[in-house]
Amino acid sequence: MLAPMLDTLRQVRKSRHLSQLELSLRLGVSQRHVSFVESGRAKPSRELLAAWLQELEAPLGLCNEIMLQAGYAPIYSNTQLHDPALASVNMALQQLLQAQDPIPALVIDAHWNLLRLNRGAEWLAMTLAPGIDLRADTTPMNLLDMLVHPTGLTQLITNLHEVGPAFLARLRHEASAHPIIIDKVKAFAALLDARLGTQTSSQTCLNPTTPVLTTRYATPYGELAFFSMFTTFGTPQDITLASLRVEHIFPADVATHEVLKAQVQ
């Protein structure tokens, strides 16, 4: 059981661009001890492993997995979102979504599963991906699956060459902490390679012309342009809450805002 833990510790450290020396200084231990732990020659105490994971800013779910692999009790709870203990959280999420209308807003988890959405987001999804029925299944729809669906979200994007590589870079970074989405990220990379070419899909924008990246769609209502912001819970101590994000999809121009106000009643 220790081998997966050791591999994960090394991978997460490297993804954070931390050397063994820098990590050892943060933890107050020798570089030799860090090396011994990562090679399996020494086992960290529960307290040291918890501090280690905190310094690596590891996701809470991953912290629990590593603790279990090391033979220790998990640190964080994992409460279901519908649990009565999270009633105040659910109320806050609902108020946030409703207050945002007609501006689209949706709740997603760390794996990009769509958990909730407001009226604006529902209208936008039906407009951009009319071939996908969000209510067709009892399991949450995954936004990464919607990206690569034959009639999915990328089909109407007119500036995919700008937003696609940037989003792929973000997803690859997230996949280092959430390996469960690796296959979905690979599918999106393959789509970009097919649509843009292998070299184009791996490029990043070195000279951005706008403060935020704007996604533009060709729709029956004309071109619609949006940029996103995310809301997360501050200092969450539960795996479910740590994974939740509210994406706010703001119109990037007056014309898009007017379409939203007219269509979302």
Residues of the chain with CATH 1.10.260.40: 2-69
Q: What is the pLDDT of residue 209?
A: 55
Query: CATH top-level class for 2-69?
Result: mainly alpha
In this model, does residue 127 exceed pLDDT 90? yes
- Cα dist. 185→167, 191, 201 in Å? 10, 10, 13
Going by C-alpha positions, the residue among 260, 169, 247 that lies closest to residue 217 is 260
Asked if 114 contacts 132 with a C-beta cutoff of 8 angstroms, the reply is: no
Q: Which CATH number among 3.30.450, 3.90.1720, 3.40.720, 3.90.1070 corresponds to the domain 84-263?
A: 3.30.450
User: What is the C-alpha separation between 22 and 31, in angstroms, rounded?
Assistant: 8
Instruction: State the helix-helix crossing angle for 254-263 and 119-128, rounded to 10 degrees.
Output: 110
- Percentage of the chain beyond pLDDT 70 is 93
The conformational region for residue 164 under phi > 0 = left, psi -120 to 50 = alpha, else beta, is alpha
Q: What angle do CA 4, 8, 13 make, to 5 degrees?
A: 155
Please report the beta strands in 137-252, taking only residues with DSSP state E, as ranges in sequence order.
215-219, 222-231, 245-251
- Average pLDDT score, the chain: 90
Domain boundaries for CATH 3.30.450 within the chain: 84-263
Quote the radius of gyration of the chain (alpha carbons, Å).
21
Write the single-letter amino acid at 170. Answer: R
102 pLDDT band, cuts 50/70/90, is very high
CA distance 204 to 59: 26
pLDDT of residue 113: 95
pLDDT of res. 2: 73
User: How confident is the model over 200-257, as pLDDT tens digits?
Assistant: 555 655 555 567 899 999 999 999 999 999 999 998 999 999 999 999 999 999 999 9
Q: What is the pLDDT of residue 207?
A: 54
Q: How many CB atoms lie within 10 A of CB 64?
A: 20
Q: pLDDT tens, 138-193?
A: 678 999 999 999 888 899 999 999 999 999 999 998 887 788 999 999 999 999 99
